[in-house]
Structures are given as structure tokens and as C-alpha cells.
């Protein structure tokens, strides 16, 4: 089955959800015009990472999430991205929601690996459940940014039958080379498609702590080849049509998943 995907590489304006959503709508409309069935946005794409403000506004932000669903329905396209949300216990979480083209929340994944280098665990509650979503193009796994460094999560999705994994990102310099290797490695070792949507621009985390995101949003196929890739500094909407049958072809030619020896692994 062929799937046309758009990935939105954007500059997120911190604590300005209305502004970010207006930009998001224009990109959703353009992706729909390109006949994409799915558009992927970066991590925390409606608010950025001003945690103090996010904690104050999180409950109101639930209305913003509903509006994203309305846009998905209006333009008839699936929408993926990580946003500020409350979990089932009413705690702030970094949440990847996949909306169907009917506007419904078809999949929810709360970031399980929190980025201790920037003390994310002080501000959000970690998720405890993986998420594979049944979509018209096949089983789809949901991840968020730092998860890319934990291959066990992606292997779990592959063993569950995922054919593509969507990963909203907010990855900054100086880790560009890490990103290039990791996203391709996850695609190759698990023999599936990877779609990574990263931010561009800079974000201020306080005195002496400004991060600059490096873009390079991409779609990588199960052989590690690049279907589409954005540049390093500019906002872009990249689009590619991929054939999900390539997952079966690659797995048939090189039976990595079948050749595993899980009885030997001490995890």
C-alpha cells in the first residue's frame, strides 16, 4: 500500500499556542492539497518548552488539542505531533496524539523516556504504556524525541507489527550527527519506515541556556534510504509517497526479526 506523508519542520514560538496553531493550519491545508494522508509535527509544537507557563496553562490547552482534531477533520487528513496535555491522573505530560481524518484521537502516547539532561522529569509525568495504532496503512508506532536513543522501544514496536514509526522531535545542536545515525539505525535494524519531525530556530531556557534546533526532519525507508529530508535552518514541509510493501520486501530478503535469539539477551 502506498502512503503519502508530509512532515512539518517548524519554528515554534514559545508560549504562543494560537500563533503556532495558525501556522499549523496552513501546513495542514498544504499537506492536504498535496494529497497527503498524514502530516507529522514536531515535539511540543503548540507551546514550546516554557515549563512554568506550560504548567499554568495546561488545563486550558486541552481546548487547543480539540481544535487540532477539528483541523484534521476539516481537511480530511491524519495529524501527528507532540503537545502539552494532562494524563489520566491530571498531571502534565508530553503527549504524542495521532488524530484520524475524522478528527478523533486514534492514538495517544505519553513520552516514556524523559530527558534528564534538561530535567524534563521535574516538569512532566512519564508515560508507562507504548502505543501502536491500527491505521488504514497498517500498524503505526508512536514515539517522542529522546525515545530515539532507546532501541528496545522501537524493537518492541517492530515485534508488535508496526510498519512505520512517527517521532516528533525537538533535537538541538550539537547532536545533529547523533540524529542522523539514530533515525537511520532505527529504520534499518527494525526494517520499517521512520518519520521524524524536528524543530528549527532557537529557544531560550534561561540565562546561558539557549538551544538551537537543527531541523533535518526526514522520512527514512526500511533499507535506511532517505525518501525525503529537510534542511538545517528553514521551516519546510517535506512530502514523500512511500510503499509500505517495502517493509515486507526488506524483511523477506533479510530475516533479522526471525533470526533473533531472545533467550540469550539479558534485558
- Tell me the whole-structure pTM to 2 decimals: 0.97
Q: Could you list the active site residues?
A: 43, 111, 145
* Residues 6 or more apart in contact with residue 52 via CB below 8 angstroms: none
Distance CA 153, CA 143 (A): 8
Distance CA 262, CA 259 (A): 9
Query: Is-contact 85 109, C-beta < 8 A?
Result: no
pLDDT in tens for each of the 267 residues of the chain? 999 999 999 999 999 999 999 999 999 999 999 999 999 999 999 999 999 999 999 999 999 999 999 999 999 999 999 999 999 999 999 999 999 999 999 999 999 999 998 889 999 999 999 999 999 999 999 999 999 999 999 999 999 999 999 999 999 999 999 999 999 999 999 999 999 999 999 998 777 789 999 999 999 999 999 999 999 999 999 999 999 999 999 999 999 999 999 999 987
Distance CA 20, CA 45 (A): 7
φ, ψ at 5 (rounded to 5°): -120, 140
Nearest to 7 by CA among 219, 246, 247: 219
* Residues 6 or more apart in contact with residue 102 via CB below 8 angstroms: 72, 73
Instruction: Delineate the domains of the chain, giving CATH numbers in brackets.
Output: 2-260 (3.60.110.10)
Amino acid at each position: 500500500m502506498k502512503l503519502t506523508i508530509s512532515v512539518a519542520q517548524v519554528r515554534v514560538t514559545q508560549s504562543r499556542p494560537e500563533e503556532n496553531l495558525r501556522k499549523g493550519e496552513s501546513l495542514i491545508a498544504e499537506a492536504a492539497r498535496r494529497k497527503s494522508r498524514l502530516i507529522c509535527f514536531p515535539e511540543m509544537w503548540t507551546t514550546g518548552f516554557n515549563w512554568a507557563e506550560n504548567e499554568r496553562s495546561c488545563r486550558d490547552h486541552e481546548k487547543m488539542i480539540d481544535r487540532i482534531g477539528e483541523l484534521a477533520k476539516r481537511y480530511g487528513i491524519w495529524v501527528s505531533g507532540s503537545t502539552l496535555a494532562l494524563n489520566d491522573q491530571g498531571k502534565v505530560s508530553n503527549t504524542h496524539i495521532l488524530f484520524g481524518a475524522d478528527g478523533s484521537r486514534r492514538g495517544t502516547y505519553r513520552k516514556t523516556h524523559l530527558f534528564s539532561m534538561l530535567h524534563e522529569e521535574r516538569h512532566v509525568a512519564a508515560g508507562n504504556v507504548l502505543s501502536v495504532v491500527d491505521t488504514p496503512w497498517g500498524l503505526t508506532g508512536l514515539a517522542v524525541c529522546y525515545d530515539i536513543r532507546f532501541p528496545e522501544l522501537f524493537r518492541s514496536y517492530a515485534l508488535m507489527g508496526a510498519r512505520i514509526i512517527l517521532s516528533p522531535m525537538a533535537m538541538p545542536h550539537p547532536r545533529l550527527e547523533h540524529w542522523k545515525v539514530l533515525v537511520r539505525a532505527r529504520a534499518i535494524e527494525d526494517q520499517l519506515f521512520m518519520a521524524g519531525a524536528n524543530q528549527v530556530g532557537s529557544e531560550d531556557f534561561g540565562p546561558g541556556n539557549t538551544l538551537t534546533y537543527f531541523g533535518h526532519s526526514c522520512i527514512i525507508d526500511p533499507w535506511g534510504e532517505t525518501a525525503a529530508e529537510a534542511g538545517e535552518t528553514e521551516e519546510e514541509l517535506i512530502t514523500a509517497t512511500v510503499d509500505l510493501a517495502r517493509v515486507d520486501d526488506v524483511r523477506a530478503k533479510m530475516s533479522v526479526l526471525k533470526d533473533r535469539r531472545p533467550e540469550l539477551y539479558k534485558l
